Amino acid sequence: MRIVMIGTGYVGLVSGACFADFGHEVVCVDKDQSKIDALLNGEIPIFEPGLDELVAKNVAAGRLSFTLDLAEALPGTDAVFIAVGTPSRRGDGHADLSYVYAAAREMAPLLPDGVVVVDKSTVPVGTGDEVERIIREEAPELSFSVASNPEFLREGAAIDDFKRPDRVVIGVNDAHAESVLEEIYRPLTRNESPLVSMSRRGAELTKYAANAFLATKIGFINEIADLCEKVGADVRDVSKGIGLDSRIGNRFLMPGPGYGGSCFPKDTLALLKTGQDYESPLRIVESVVASNDQRKRGMGRKVINALGGGDLHGKTVAVLGLTFKANTDDMRDSPAISVVQALQDAGIEVKAYDPEGMEQAKKVLSNVTYCEGPYEAMDGADALVIVTEWDTFRALDLDRVKGLLKDLIFVDLRNLYSRSDVEGTGFKYIGVGR
């Protein structure tokens, strides 16, 4: 199959490279000259484990190419995937669909007959209808289909998620679109990944429902963690105790500083807007959003309380981990932002280290001393707080840490450490839900 991928962001680039790896011929198109230039030079604009090798291998095999020019990419294509950004619209939390609609309008006059236009961006219910209307308006004679194919990959595990998905969801309103998408995903369905075919609106909503449900699981266990602290229970026991019930499932029950990233915060807000537009309130999701917002800032207070509260001017805290989770350089809606800002508001100096996220962090967090490594960040600090679960923070040399910190306060917002190990070295240990 010949595939055009519009947008070389996270989803577009990973999907494009993986489709090429399946043996399809893929052309990735982006408007951003610097991104295309970088990709043509073999540079990957995002940090994602394994992606550079996958791109290089498929470019070398002649199956994957990059261009700025839609008119060069589109002739003869079987499917065009729209994988452009759908950020939160400023002011109201609605998904901003202007990039999706602009892509539809621009491609319409260039599309070949029989093409299937597939929305891979996360878009609210009904967006496929509008994409279809725009293309029909711009190219009244064209025969085409519009389908939805939401993407469920996680940053940091994107290639594995794409190649070994729990399921592939396709939303199609006609048989031609269904058969083209089935053909594109044949390499996965042959390996028994289930392909779930449904209406276009059903697929659009499935993506939001999945993310909102996962966010709800996290929000739920985070509140249970808070209760554990009050009643003297350990949330890791509770998490295990409920997660082994197959109706509940053990994943996404890890308490922490709150969820962040490019999807959960934005998609839960957009789903709430859809609920409002259709007069179908989503009270559970509303509570999850509010609870998570409060939690992120609350994690800053947790560190402040660990330092004893009161006037903390002149104190310094070492923050380990800035990205919203490990194995990414993504800072979007990272809990670290709220933690650092809460500390700074209390007059505390922040020294920080992150293995991949410091470039991005510098754009959102000022007045932070960015350090070369975790021990440099701890040197002379009054307390240490682990915000992101990077592997390099899992086995800190506690004796060395002890020699560097002024006060032996160890706040572990990801529960990476055993209390007895840390307390055994003489620290005051504060985890989450323990």
Least CB distance from residue 406 to ligand UDX, whole Å? 29
Least CB distance from residue 416 to ligand UDX, whole Å? 13
Which helix (H) or strand (E) is 6 found in, with range?
strand 2-6
Site map 66..105 versus ligand UDX, x via CB under 6 A: ----------------------------------------
Instruction: Count residues near ligand UDX (CB under 6 A).
Output: 19
Q: What is the CB neighbour count within 10 angstroms for residue 416?
A: 19
Site map 177..216 versus ligand UDX, x via CB under 6 A: ----------------------------------x--x--
Kindly tell me which residue out of 25, 30, 48, 155 binds ligand UDX, with binding defined by CB under 6 A.
Answer: 155
Per DSSP, the residues of 155-212 read TTSHHHHHHS-S-EEEE-SSHHHHHHHHHHTHHHHTTT--EEEE-HHHHHHHHHHHHH
Least CB distance from residue 153 to ligand UDX, whole Å? 5
Is residue 252 part of the contact set for ligand UDX (CB under 6 A)? yes
Active site residue 228: no
Is residue 9 part of the contact set for ligand UDX (CB under 6 A)? no
Is residue 218 part of the contact set for ligand UDX (CB under 6 A)? yes
Is residue 390 part of the contact set for ligand UDX (CB under 6 A)? no
Taking alpha carbons only, the member of 274, 287, 273 closest to residue 219 is 287
Kindly tell me which residue out of 261, 298, 300, 321 binds ligand UDX, with binding defined by CB under 6 A.
Answer: 261
> Strand order in 383-386's β-sheet?
368-370, 349-353, 316-320, 383-386, 409-412, 428-430
Distance CA 229, CA 345 (A): 26
Q: Which stretch binds ligand UDX (CB under 6 A): 165-173, 251-259, 293-301, 350-358?
A: 251-259
Distance CA 349, CA 369 (A): 8
Kindly tell me which residue out of 28, 44, 254, 322 binds ligand UDX, with binding defined by CB under 6 A.
Answer: 254
Is residue 386 part of the contact set for ligand UDX (CB under 6 A)? no
Is residue 22 part of the contact set for ligand UDX (CB under 6 A)? no
Distance CA 35, CA 5 (A): 14
Kindly state the tokens that stand for 194: 């289930």
Kindly tell me which residue out of 4, 36, 153, 169 binds ligand UDX, with binding defined by CB under 6 A.
Answer: 153
Kindly tell me which residue out of 13, 177, 253, 384 binds ligand UDX, with binding defined by CB under 6 A.
Answer: 253
DSSP β-bridge partners for residue 319: 352, 385
DSSP β-bridge partners for residue 297: none
Cβ–Cβ under 8 Å, residues 312 and 234: no
Helices (H) and strands (E) in the chain, counts: 18, 14
Binding footprint of ligand UDX on the chain (CB under 6 A): 151-155, 211, 214, 218, 252-254, 256, 259-261, 263-264, 324-325
Residues labelled catalytic: 263
